[in-house]
């Protein structure tokens, strides 16, 4: 599972849009001339590399890019691969399902990276990213333990994640929901990939997240992150819309 995911990330690095994004940051930032090959960047991210000044400089650029567009996430993920797999193996014995743990480590690392406060914590970025990810994973572990303790009398727990059903617009026919999502795409609340994901998984329920990930050639943890971000964007859009309506009234 772990090596399969790594191979998927390495394959993503070879995609045209990712290679183009890497080339663009090389052209914009002089520090990348010191790391002409991808392997050089991956080596910089390894925990044994003590070139902290360059680490902070390169990571600050990558994190700033991620806040704008997530294309470069496979590169950041592989730079932290050794640290993330260490975290996974340390916690593996304390969880019921290693696959859920691995997915959680990946998803929490993604959320930590895209929300990292560069203005407040511009130093020791590599250490902070791993520590923040570890805190999120540990919190999830505790919640999982509490959940299973509370529900064990009802048999095995099943996944009951938030979905579009939580939204105020959910009680409509699938065709109407699809029109709604198309409108949100036009308004740039969600992007076209998220539209496709929501349409297949939530509206028509023709696929699960894992099936969609496999069909589109995207890592499962990445798909979960896209799903989470799309639903959060729609919730925020709905809250803002209702607030505007109340102001008019």
pLDDT in tens, 196-220: 999 888 887 788 888 899 888 888 8
| Residue 164: HSE in the Cβ half-sphere, 13 Å Cα cutoff | 24
pLDDT band at 174 (very low <50, low <70, confident <90, very high): low
- Specify the higher pLDDT residue, 169 or 189: 189
Residues above pLDDT 90, as percent of the chain: 39
Distance CA 195, CA 59 (A): 30
d(CA 201, CA 214): 13
- Which tens digits make up the pLDDT trace of 52-106? 999 999 999 999 999 888 889 999 999 999 999 999 998 888 777 788 888 889 8
Share of residues in the chain with pLDDT > 70 (%): 86
CA distance readout (Å), 149 to 95, 106, 143, 167 = 13, 25, 10, 29
- Could you identify the residue written with the tokens 């009802």? 154
Dihedral through CA 130, CA 136, CA 140, CA 141, nearest 10?
40
Token pair of 76, please?
Answer: 């950041």
Encode pLDDT of 23-67 as tens digits: 999 999 999 999 999 999 999 999 889 899 999 999 999 999 998
* Residue predicted with more confidence, 95 or 9: 9
Cα–Cα distance for residue pair 126/124, rounded to 1 Å: 6
Higher pLDDT: 247 or 199? It is: 199
221: tokens are 């943890």
Mean pLDDT value of segment 151-158: 41
Give the per-residue pLDDT at 173: 53
Report d(CA 35, CA 19) in Å as an integer: 15
Angle at 70 between CA 223 and CA 238, to 5 degrees: 70
Q: Radius of gyration over alpha carbons of the chain, in Å?
A: 20
Q: Residue 246: pLDDT above 80?
A: no
Q: Which of 87, 67, 66 is nearest to 140 (CA)?
A: 87
- DSSP H helical ranges for the chain: 2-13, 16-28, 38-45, 52-68, 73-79, 81-91, 98-114, 125-151, 174-186, 192-198, 209-216, 220-248
Helix segments in 115-219, DSSP class H: 125-151, 174-186, 192-198, 209-216
- Token readout for 171 is 């009680």
What pLDDT was estimated at residue 155?
40
Name residues whose C-beta falls within 8 Å of residue 183's C-beta, 6 or more positions apart in sequence: none
């Amino acid at each position: 599972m772990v090596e399969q995911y790594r191979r998927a990330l390495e394959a993503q690095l070879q995609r045209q849009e990712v290679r183009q994004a890497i080339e663009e940051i090389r052209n914009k930032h002089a520090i990348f001339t010191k790391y002409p090959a991808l392997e050089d960047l991956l080596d910089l991210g390894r925990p044994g590399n003590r070139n902290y000044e360059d680490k902070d400089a390169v990571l600050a650029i990558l994190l700033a890019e991620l806040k704008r567009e997530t294309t470069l996430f496979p590169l950041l993920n592989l730079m932290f691969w050794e640290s993330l797999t260490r975290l996974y193996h340390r916690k593996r014995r304390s969880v019921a399902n290693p696959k859920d743990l691995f997915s959680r480590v990946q998803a929490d690392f993604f959320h930590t990276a895209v929300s990292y406060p560069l203005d407040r914590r511009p130093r020791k970025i590599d250490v902070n990213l791993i520590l923040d990810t570890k805190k999120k994973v540990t919190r999830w572990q505790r919640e999982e333990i509490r959940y299973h303790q509370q529900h064990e009398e009802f048999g095995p727990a099943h996944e009951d994640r938030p979905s579009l059903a939580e939204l105020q617009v959910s009680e409509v026919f699938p065709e109407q929901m699809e029109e709604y999502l198309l409108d949100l795409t036009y308004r740039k609340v969600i992007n076209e990939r998220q539209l496709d994901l929501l349409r297949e998984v939530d509206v028509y329920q023709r696929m699960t997240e894992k099936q969609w990930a496999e069909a589109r050639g995207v890592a499962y943890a990445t798909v979960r992150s896209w799903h989470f971000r799309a639903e959060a964007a729609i919730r925020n859009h709905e809250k803002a819309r209702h607030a505007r309506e109340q102001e008019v009234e």
